[in-house]
Amino acid sequence: MSPTIPHGTAPASPDTGATPAVDADAAPGARPTLVARLAASVADPVLRILVGATLISRIGRGIFLTVTVLYFTLIVGLTPGEVAIVLAAASGAGVVASFAGGWLADRFSAKRLIILFTAIEGAALITYVFAADFVTALVIAVICGLFEQGANSTRSAIIARAFTGESRVHARAVLRTVTNVSIAVGSGLGALALALGTAEAYRGLILGAGVLYLLGLFQLVRLPARVDAPARAAVAEVVTATGSVDAAATAEAIESERRSWRSHSPWRDPRYLWLTALSAIFGMQFGVGELGVPLWITRETAAPEVLIAALLILNTIIVVVFQVPMSRGTHDLRVAGRVSAIAAWLMAGACLVYAASAGLPVGFAIAVLVIAATAHAFAEVLSQAGGWGLSFELADPVRAGTYQGVFGMGYSVGALAAPLVVNATAISHGISGWAVLAAIFLASGLGTWLIARRAAAVA
C-alpha cells in the first residue's frame, strides 16, 4: 500500500536510467491508456522483477493461508491447542528472522539471500504434505516462519538500495497491491480444497503452493548486482617510514573502522526505535481485522457471519485500488506524518463504530460494520504509506538493510502481540475494550506524526 507516480510517467531510477513506458499510439497531450499507465508504474527493471516474483509466489501464499488451519486439524490430526502452538512458534521465529534478514543483507549479497530464503521456504512448504504429527508440523512451521520473514526483510533492503525517494515508497505500494491481488487469487484456489474436503485435495494444493514459490525464483535470479550493499572497503595496512607494517597502528585503524560501522546501527538511533515501536503498535490493526472483527460479529452483533467474508473482500478492494495513489508523496516527512495522523483518527473512529454495532437490528448492524470496515481499510492504507516513507527516509543509508530489518522486526512483534491485545480488550471487555483499542491506535498514530514533524523541522 503506497504511492504512485504521475499518469503515464515512471521516474527513472538514478542507478539504471530506466525510461518511462510510452503509449506509441496516443495522441500528443492525450490521457495515457490504462495499459500505458500500468506499464509505466513498473517501468524500472528491478521493480518488474520483484512484481513478477511476488505475483507468482503470493498466489501460493494465498493457497496456503486458506487451507493451513483445516489441514492441520482435519488431515494431520492436530488439536486446536497444538495448532495454536505451531502458528505462534512460526510467528516467533519470524521476529528473529525479520532482523536477521536485513542484517545479513548489509553483509552479503541481497540477491543471493532472497533467492536462498525463497527456495528454502518453498521447499519447506512442500514438505508439509509429509507432516503426520505435531513435532513435524512444528519444525516445518518454524522453518517457514524463519525464511519467509528473512526474505521479506531482504526484499525491503533491496528496495531501500535499488530506489530513492518517492520511487521507494512507490515500489512498496505496487508490491503491496500485487500481494493483495495474488493472495486473493490464491485464496480462491484454496477454496477448491475446502470444497472437495479430501486429503489428496489439501496435499495437492499445498504442493502447488510450494511449487509456485519455487517458480518465483526464475524472476529473482534476474535481479541486477546493484541491489546488493556496497562492499565495505578493506582497511589498508599502516606502513612505517622503513617500509615495514606497523601492526599496532593497523589494528587501531581496523578497530576505528569497526567503531564507525557500529555507530550507524539502528540500535543507537532512538528516533528510529521509537518509530519502529509506534508502527508495531499501530500494526496491530491487522489483528483487529483478522481476529477482533470476526469474533465481534459472531458473538455480539445480529449481522450474518457471511459479512465477515464480505468485509475482507471490501478491505482487499480498497487496498488494491487506493494503496498506490494514496501513498504518493509520503517520501516527504511532512506528508508521511500527516497521513499517519489521519490514519490514527480513522482507526480510532473505526474501533468506536465497530463497538456501536452491538445490539443493533440486522440491517443497521450491517451498515455500521461496513462503515467501520471502510474507515479501517483506509487507516490501513494510510498507515502503511506513512510508515514506509518514514522507515526509508529516517534510516541511515550506510546500513539500510539492518534498519529495514529492525523495522520489520517491530511489525513481527506487533503481529505476535495483536491476538493477545485484541482478546484482552475488545473481545473480553466489549465496548470499553474497543475504546481502549481506539486510544492505543490514536496515541501510536499521533506519536508517529510527532516524530515525522520533528524530523522534518531539522531536515
Question: What does the pLDDT read at residue 32?
Answer: 63
> What share of the chain in percent tops pLDDT 70?
83
The string of pLDDT tens digits covering residues 400-454 is: 889 999 999 998 899 889 888 998 999 899 999 999 999 999 999 999 999 999 9
Q: Which residue has the higher pLDDT, 64 or 122?
A: 122
State the chain's mean pLDDT as an integer.
84
Instruction: Note the maximum CA span of the chain.
Output: 93
CA distances from 183 to 58, 78, 189, 292, 384 (A): 6, 25, 10, 21, 18
Quick one: cell of 294? 470476526
Q: Which residue has the cell 455480539?
A: 300
Read off the pTM.
0.80
**Are 42 and 212 contacting, i.e. CB atoms less than 8 angstroms apart?**
no
Q: Which residue has the higher pLDDT, 413 or 256?
A: 413
Question: What does the pLDDT read at residue 21?
Answer: 41
Question: What does the pLDDT read at residue 262?
Answer: 67
SS3 26: coil
CA distances from 395 to 50, 105, 222, 404, 406 (A): 22, 15, 27, 8, 10
Q: Which residue has the cell 477482533?
A: 292
Question: What does the pLDDT read at residue 20?
Answer: 40
Name beta bridge partners: 239: 245
What is the helix (H) or strand (E) element at residue 218, kind and residue range? helix 217-220
Q: How confident is the model at residue 136 (pLDDT cuts 50, 70, 90)?
A: very high
The string of pLDDT tens digits covering residues 148-183 is: 999 999 999 999 888 888 888 989 999 999 998 898
Question: What does the pLDDT read at residue 420?
Answer: 87
**Are 268 and 396 contacting, i.e. CB atoms less than 8 angstroms apart?**
no
Helices (H), 263-399: 270-282, 285-287, 293-300, 306-322, 333-356, 362-393
The string of pLDDT tens digits covering residues 201-219 is: 889 989 999 999 999 999 9
End-to-end CA distance of the chain: 25
Name beta bridge partners: 245: 239
On the 0-12 / 13-18 / 19+ scale of CB atoms within 10 A, 428 is: exposed
Give me the mean pLDDT over the 285-300 stretch: 89
